[in-house]
Amino acid sequence: MVRSPRSLSFVAANTVEALASREQLIQIYGNTRPEDADVLVALGGDGFMLQVLHETMNSSRLIYGMNRGSIGFLMNDFRIDHLPERIAAATENGFHPLKMTAQSADGTQTIALAINEVSLLRQSYQAAKLRVLIDGQERLDELICDGLMVATPVGSTAYNLSAHGPILPLDAPLLALTPVCPFRPRRWRGALLSDRVKVSVEILEAEKRPVNAVADNTEVKSVVSVLIEQANDKTARILSDPDHSWSERILAEQFSN
């Protein structure tokens, strides 16, 4: 549980519904500058929540989201009444994002964080050819596919699930390595990895079969290699209602139609 918050800051996605809700809540509870608040109340959808989590990484601020978007898997239900009491009773979840180090064909290096997943996707009409190494040891000498991703437990119900990857419990020390439309090896459907490993992906025939790398909303075009590892020095902190916790949501997702 969280101590009763002394100050709240309301931040909203740039949509009519989210902005109107923000004004309504400010009239009732007031508003503190984000940098001075105990808790940031994020109003929007999952994309906006990811944005806020990235912006507040390693800060002392807690994020409490309320759904003013579409799916809202990362958000709590939107209700106006008794908000301080809800926040005080909320459960805190802290987690480490992934760090992507992408080497581009022009020699530049890009480092980006991913809360959901790091994905490699073909850039042209031709399938990608990838070489996959785990902690420096080759595991796949040639994977022909549309793409490949490494997903966290938080992101396992997002793009990873749509690519038929496994759903991971939030507290599982695991990562999902999931291919997108694999052509060869035909029967390879991915792997479960310890969250302590380093995943290296080398792009074969990079000029003929260009590949883009994406860490959440950061995209790098025409990469030649990508290193993916957990960023243990970074932490995001999010609050969930006890009756709608992330663990419960992930468990329920496994029994949904």
- Answer yes or no: is 158 a known binding residue: yes
Catalytic residue among 46, 233, 241, 243: 46
- Answer yes or no: is 14 a known binding residue: no
Q: Which amino acid is at 43?
A: L
- Answer yes or no: is 162 a known binding residue: yes
Backbone φ and ψ of 47, nearest 5°? -60, -40
User: Is 46 annotated in the active site?
Assistant: yes
- Answer yes or no: is 151 a known binding residue: no
- Answer yes or no: is 146 a known binding residue: yes
Tell me if 159 sits within 8 A of 116, measured CB to CB. yes
Sign of torsion over alpha carbons 56, 58, 64, 69? positive
- Answer yes or no: is 157 a known binding residue: yes
How many Å apart are CA 20 and CA 12, to the nearest integer? Answer: 9
- Answer yes or no: is 46 a known binding residue: yes
- Answer yes or no: is 29 a known binding residue: no
- Answer yes or no: is 154 a known binding residue: yes
- Answer yes or no: is 47 a known binding residue: yes
Backbone φ and ψ of 195, nearest 5°? -75, 5
Residues acting as catalytic residues? 46
Binding-site residue numbers for NAD(+) are 46-47, 116-117, 146, 154, 157-162
Binding-site residue numbers are 46-47, 116-117, 146, 154, 157-162
